[in-house]
Amino acid sequence: MKTKALFYHAGCPICVSAEQKLVGSLDASKFDIEVIHLGEDKARVAEAERVGVKSVPALIIDGEVLHINFGADIAALR
Amino acid sequence: MKTKALFYHAGCPICVSAEQKLVGSLDASKFDIEVIHLGEDKARVAEAERVGVKSVPALIIDGEVLHINFGADIAALR
């Protein structure tokens, strides 16, 4: 069974760049990757904060939050 | 041909955690991944700085630096 991976972003240049490099580099045989644009899906900002996302872009694997570089603070997306 | 990916770290808990989650999640059919412990291999700190590493852990894919969370400032490793 594949592991769910979540990639939260906000459409910023740093987010898009990280998405292109990282999401496409993950082993697709191991992961189902969901990409969530928090700028367009505000309802999921609270969910992102609950799992520990402090800034975007961020990748969640097995419940662990990996903040990738720094695009925007999660508080700016509420 | 596989792309070279570099993972720089310093053996800190945040580094080890990121390494376990991320390095094992990359598509091994696409990447040759080299893991560099800058605490044990000080000679490579300058190399890391040249490619743009500001802090560890950091993953380099196609020359792009992805800083993952924050373990230590590169300046602290010189």
Q: What is the pLDDT of residues B30-72, one digit of tens each?
A: 999 999 999 999 999 999 999 999 999 999 999 999 999 999 9
Start-to-end CA distance of chain A, whole Å, equals 33
Closest approach of chain A CAs to the CA of B27, in angstroms? Answer: 4
Contact list, A21 vs chain B (CB under 8 Å) = 61-62, 64, 66
Q: Which residue of A has its CA nearest to B53?
A: A69
Closest approach of chain A CAs to the CA of B64, in angstroms? Answer: 8
Average pLDDT over all residues of chain A: 95
Residue A1 has pLDDT above 90, yes or no: no
The pTM assigned to this predicted structure is 0.94
Distance from C-alpha of A21 to C-alpha of A12, rounded to nearest angstrom = 14
Query: Nearest-5° angle of CA B33, CA B37, CA B39?
Result: 165
Distance from C-alpha of A54 to C-alpha of A75, rounded to nearest angstrom = 8
Question: Model confidence over A33-57: pLDDT tens digits?
Answer: 999 999 999 999 999 999 999 999 9
Question: Model confidence over A62-73: pLDDT tens digits?
Answer: 999 999 999 999
Q: What is the pLDDT of residue B58?
A: 98
Average pLDDT over residues A14-18: 93
Q: What is the pLDDT of residue B20?
A: 92
